[in-house]
Amino acid sequence: MPGPITFASIAREWQEDLLLHKEENKHDTPNYYASTPSTLTTSSTVHNFITGTGDNIFSSILPALESAESEIIFITCFWARSSSLSQLANTLRALSIKAQARGGWKLRVRIGLSSLSLFQKIFQPHTITGQTYTPSTWVKTLGLPSPAELGGLDLEIKSVFLLPFSVMHPKFIIVDRKRVFLPSCNVSWESWFEGCIELSGLVVSQFVRFWLEFWSSNEHERSLPPPPSPPHPSVTSLPSPQSPTPIHPSPLGPAHTHTPLPTHSIPTLFLPSPHHLNPRFAPFSSSPPLSPPTPLNTLLLTLLARANSSIYIQTPNLTAPPVLTALLRALRRGVAVHIRTSARLMILEQLVTAGTTTTRCVRKLVRRHRALLSSATAARDEDEEAGVGLVAPGALRVEFFEPLGGFRKEGMEGGEPQQSHLKLLIVDEAATVLGSGNLDRASWYTSQELGVAFFDGGVAGAVRGGVEGVIGGRVRGYYG
């Protein structure tokens, strides 16, 4: 069996693997870590872990944005007219009013997105520089307030999407380069089960550098704007919220919770995963192509290979061949695997990008697990002595997310999440990975993703507890 999961051992193995692929990774954008992956090792202080729908998440974290004094960096993937967008628009109005009242420099706001509409993805420039939206487009195209309402902001908005499938999928928010929110949700109408973790400490500079290397093209943005002028005597700055805004839970049972996390400094790995233009799509190949050796992909495979006792996965989709192979190997080693995913989420997208679906992949994994169990039983029955010392296959448990009260049509959800969109991996109750990356083929081969790994048993337990506290009744057992 592999040795215990520790930050030192995993970071060393992960860095060595990345260095073996540094020439390949030098072609990525961004690639600032290709020759020195050790620069991605850091530490963080984690605060709250929030669960709920996207609306719940934004209602909780947008008050923190209103407390910004110098800068907000807001990166998301999907952007659509919705309650979430309305909340963001109101926050921008409040920030503008505050900045104008205090006088001096405008408050800098940078928004990055990737998916706005089919028209946008087809006709916008398919380059890394993407498309910048002029103020005249903010209202009609983006659903934001007019420039006249945002006069206190230095606001820039850009989108990046590269054909055929390279969507920029990360979601993160940086406030004054002091704290970061890492949500799984987009600015969208989708009523899905989401999660968000709040961070501070050295890890914040990692997010800033990632943003500078990919999203920002202005050298002057490497530093914060000058400190704001003292507020006008009649204006009171909005205080930093001590606790998130309370949310009215769903009448069928709350899916929205706040879980306090350990507040000490935690060993952390920052995990970018650049986009790739070549989808390497080979649905009829008997040997799937290797996935790009990005920091995120490499760390996930390292953790799955080093698991000793347990693997917990919550992912919207599960179609990435490297992950399925790694899970089967873990089961052979006796590791217990618990998977929570969705049976019918983005099926057309799965077929286009992967040539298969999560349900098909899960069925195949279950068949192989049953074969492992049968082989182990046959070996023991055939030769009891030879079976002594053999490792029994690990238990496999698979569940599909289902909303309380059953699935409902759009607009009729009543605050109840209809799908699970959280991306979470916990290994041996020691390492926790959160971020934007799904365990599907699109995230592993073509999309830009971003993850963060925390090496602390307290964080693993608190995050898992936060999920378990609301997931009950919202899953359907499929296997195990």
Spatial neighbors of 371 by CB under 8 A, at least 6 apart, are none
Contact 6, 306 (CB under 8 A): no
Peptide bond into 164 cis (omega under 30): yes
* Closest residue by Cα to residue 321 from 368, 283, 272, 271: 283
> What does the alpha-carbon distance between residue 256 and residue 335 come to, in Å, rounded to a whole number?
31
Which one is the CATH code of 272-479: 3.40.640.10, 3.40.50.2000, 3.20.20.140, 3.30.870.10?
Answer: 3.30.870.10
Phi and psi at residue 275, in whole multiples of 5°? -70, 160
> What does the alpha-carbon distance between residue 214 and residue 226 come to, in Å, rounded to a whole number?
23
> What does the alpha-carbon distance between residue 319 and residue 327 come to, in Å, rounded to a whole number?
12
Contact 309, 336 (CB under 8 A): yes
Domain extent listing, the chain: 272-479
State the helix-helix crossing angle for 295-306 and 321-332, rounded to 10 degrees: 20
> What does the alpha-carbon distance between residue 350 and residue 245 come to, in Å, rounded to a whole number?
36
**In a structure prediction context, what are the per-residue pLDDT tens digits for the chain, which is 480 residues long?**
778 999 999 999 999 999 999 999 999 999 999 999 999 999 999 999 999 999 999 999 999 999 999 999 999 999 999 999 999 999 999 999 999 998 888 999 999 999 998 888 888 989 999 999 999 999 999 999 999 999 999 999 999 999 888 999 999 999 999 999 999 999 999 999 999 999 999 999 999 999 999 999 788 899 888 766 554 443 333 333 333 333 333 333 456 777 777 678 999 999 999 999 865 655 555 566 789 999 999 999 999 999 999 999 999 999 999 999 999 999 999 999 999 999 887 777 777 777 889 999 999 999 999 999 998 887 776 766 555 567 899 999 999 999 998 899 888 888 899 999 999 999 999 999 999 999 999 999 999 999 999 999 999 999 999 999 899 889 999 999
Write down the pLDDT at residue 380: 72
Helix (H) or strand (E) holding 224, with range, is: none
Write down the pLDDT at residue 164: 83
Alpha helices in 311-411 (DSSP H): 321-332, 347-354, 358-382
Residue type, 169: H
Tell me, what DSSP letter sits at residue 267?
E
